[in-house]
Amino acid sequence: MFRNLGRTNLLLLISVFVWSLSVGLWFNQRQLYLGELGATPEQIGTALALEAICAAVVMIPGGFLSDRLGPRRVILGAWSLGVLGVVLMAVAQSWHTAIPGMILYRCAAAAAPAIMAFAMLSIPDRSLPGISERTLSTIWAAWPAAQIASPWLGGIIAQNTSIRTTMWIAAAILAIGIGVVLLTKPAKAESSPLQQRPLSVFRNRQFLLLTGYFALTTMVLYIGHMLLPSFLQETRGFSLATIGFLFTVSYVGAVVLNLIAGRRNPRWSFVGLLVLVWLAYLTLWRTSEVWSATVAMFMLGAIPATWIVTNACIVQVVGDRDQGRAFGFFQSLAHAGPALAAWMAGQLYGMTPGHALPLVAALVGIPVMLALWFVPGLGSSVAAPPSAKNPG
């Protein structure tokens, strides 16, 4: 699995794992932390909206700077801001003073498109069939792998000490991630400046079509997911411990499905993942048994796995000099999908006593997106053998 990655990509895999471990320790506790600092639910919602906007916005400059300055520098800079942001939150004395730290921390998201570009530039042998897809899927499988245990571990630490302590530990762990990236060498393309065409990626019709389609698909996939914990508790009557177990199973499924999908032609692995999500939502809608819900949650790990496949598709339709900005623009737009899905799920959730409309909306929307995938110019644009294309 790691044989053809090369030293730099192995280090990137470790750094992604460390980043995810840091995030998992405290990120799900930030709402509680703001409440401890005196914020009302409305104020907490406003703070979370501001940080979400920041996370989406920084993707685009992160991608452009990656192409111009080199992805390694962007990763180091973004994560340095992330460490500073967590530290500012840890020392905050009121919810007002915690917000700058939250926003600054979300600048670390600019590292995501840079990691994608760095990984592509650091593949030892680009001629190997499917190496781009395998590289991305292997590196990013480290993210859900770390998430299997880190939120649970962070909860234990916070319960026995405080959320502030969890944040200090998370900042230290992210600093270790910076140290891992410092062990890498700049990608070859960074040694000689590439010809810059800042707007060239926006003249790529295939890229624009795929980006819009994947953003819409992401929204459809997440409609049923956003309020799923509430559905499992209020409608299915599952305990918090059971719900926690089910989401752990989902992260396990994400790791497994991510690795499998990354070794298949992305056109068809994308179809397979959407079918799995559809079956998962159907099962959760119709069952009240823990064992069948467990199977469904494993299949629901296909949602994060689609993220790798969509990025692998983007690799096939953009050239090397445009990959950083392409990843940045795509991931910025893709982040808007879950945000809109959350609003839609909130509107649908209370319309029926069984709270099943978000699941039903996903069950209706996924077949539509599957049908659109076979429209000329979408799935067909990535139908060539993996890694055979190198446009631009």
CA distance 25 to 218: 25
User: Using CA atoms, how far apart are residues 36 and 167, in angstroms rounded to an integer?
Assistant: 14
Give 258-278 pLDDT, tens digit per residue.
778 766 677 788 889 999 999
Distances (CA, A) of 24 to 107, 173, 174: 17, 11, 11
Measuring CA to CA, which residue among 333, 348, 359 is closest to residue 218? 333
Q: What pLDDT is stored for residue 200 in this prediction?
A: 62
Angle at Cα 277 formed by Cα 341 and Cα 313, nearest 5°?
80
Q: Are 215 and 336 in contact (CB under 8 A)?
A: yes
Give the CB-side neighbour count of residue 110, counting CA atoms within 13 A: 29
Alpha-carbon distances, residue 162 vs 102, 159, 292 (angstroms): 18, 6, 36
Say how far residue 40 (Cα) sits from the centre of its chain.
28
pLDDT tens, the chain, 392 aa long: 566 778 899 999 999 999 999 988 888 778 778 888 988 766 776 777 777 778 778 887 887 788 778 889 999 999 999 999 999 999 999 989 999 999 899 888 888 888 988 888 888 877 776 677 678 778 887 888 888 888 778 878 887 888 899 999 999 999 999 999 999 988 755 444 444 555 566 677 777 888 888 888 988 998 888 778 778 877 888 776 677 678 778 888 888 887 787 666 777 888 899 999 999 999 999 888 888 999 999 999 898 888 778 877 777 776 656 666 677 777 777 777 776 777 777 778 778 888 888 899 999 999 999 999 887 766 666 654 444 344 33
DSSP characters for 160-178? HS-HHHHHHHHHHHHHHHH
In the block, tokens 């409309």 appear at 357
